[in-house]
Amino acid sequence: MQRGLLSIVVLVVLVAASCRVEAGCVDPATFGHSTVGIIRYFDDEERKAQDGSFGVRGTGWFLSPTLIATVEHVAAGMNLSDQRWKPIEIQAGKARQSVPVRVQRIVGSSAEKIAVLELQTALAGAQGLELRMEPLLSDEPLASIAYPGDRQRIVGGRFVQYGEGDKFAGTALLEMYDGKDRLALDHGASGAPVFDCGGRVVAVVSNLFTKTMQFMSQSMRVSTAWGSPNVASVPIQVLASPSHDE
């Protein structure tokens, strides 16, 4: 009986400690002004080459008033160049404006990389986010701000582990959700910053793990099981590495 009571007391203490850590975290909404939706609308020739697609959507965040970070596949999907300036639409909340950008550098040595975009003109009021270069700890609480579906969304979650093997090498695997919604970081969330409890960027959202289930004549996308990773991200440490072109 005493051993059982002791176990209950230890469990209560651990849960209380965990709650205090999360309760003391910086509200990620504080950094909403530094995270933006980015959209590139294709011209007529590009639409023909892209099977009629009108454009590509992603999420970016400010390193400075003239630099935005996102993931490489967003920049590639937008057909952005390191030579030519091309206009993208930047969405901050409900405000939108068009700004010419070009790729300043691509960093990382794994399949997924980070793209740094240079703005032709500085964006008034844009503030760069702080980076954390120290490794994440197992079950460390995290948060993200993204623009899936043309609207800002804030989600929470935790760090699970760093990826291993050929498939996930160089990634940080996360479990992220908004309440019961494990598809919160869906299309348009790629490139979103992932914050630690202190509000520092620790990773950049890359892919959401899903599979398609068939029910009668309808198909449905579902996430992974609770307790397992559902998001792959690029650790922010790659920003300290040489660019992909060097």
Each domain of the chain, given as residue ranges in start order, spans 31-119, 129-240
Query: Right CATH number for 129-240 from 1.10.40.60, 3.40.50.970, 2.40.10.10, 1.10.10.10?
Result: 2.40.10.10
- Return the closest-CA partner of residue 233 out of 172, 185, 177: 172
- Answer whether 200's CB lies under 8 Å from 132's CB: yes
- Answer whether 33's CB lies under 8 Å from 127's CB: yes
- Answer whether 144's CB lies under 8 Å from 155's CB: yes
Residue with structure tokens 């919604």? 181
CATH topology assigned to domain 31-119: Thrombin, subunit H (2.40.10)
- Return the closest-CA partner of residue 86 out of 123, 144, 43: 43
- Is residue 44 very low, low, confident or very high in pLDDT (cuts 50, 70, 90)? confident
Q: What is the pLDDT of residues 5-43, one digit of tens each?
A: 333 333 333 333 333 335 579 998 888 889 999 999 988
Q: What is the pLDDT of residues 119-152, one digit of tens each?
A: 999 998 898 999 999 999 999 999 999 999 888 9
Residue 24 per-residue DSSP state: T
> SS3 for 17?
helix
Count of beta carbons in the 10 Å neighbourhood of residue 201: 24
What are phi and psi for residue 13, nearest 5 degrees? -65, -45
Cα separation, 61 vs 213, in Å, equals 34
| Secondary element (H or E) of residue 55 | strand 55-64
Cα separation, 140 vs 161, in Å, equals 10
**b/e per residue 22-45 (b: at least 16 CB within 10 A):** eeebeebeebeebbbbbbbbbeee
> SS3 for 32?
helix
Cα separation, 49 vs 135, in Å, equals 41
Q: State percent of the chain over pLDDT 70.
A: 88
Count of beta carbons in the 10 Å neighbourhood of residue 168: 17
Cα separation, 104 vs 85, in Å, equals 11
Cα separation, 120 vs 87, in Å, equals 10
Question: Is 31-119's fold the same as 129-240's?
Answer: yes
Q: What is the pLDDT of residues 147-204, one digit of tens each?
A: 998 889 999 999 999 999 888 999 999 999 999 999 999 999 999 999 999 999 999 9
Residue with structure tokens 């892209």? 50
Q: What is the pLDDT of residues 57-78, one digit of tens each?
A: 999 999 999 999 999 999 999 9
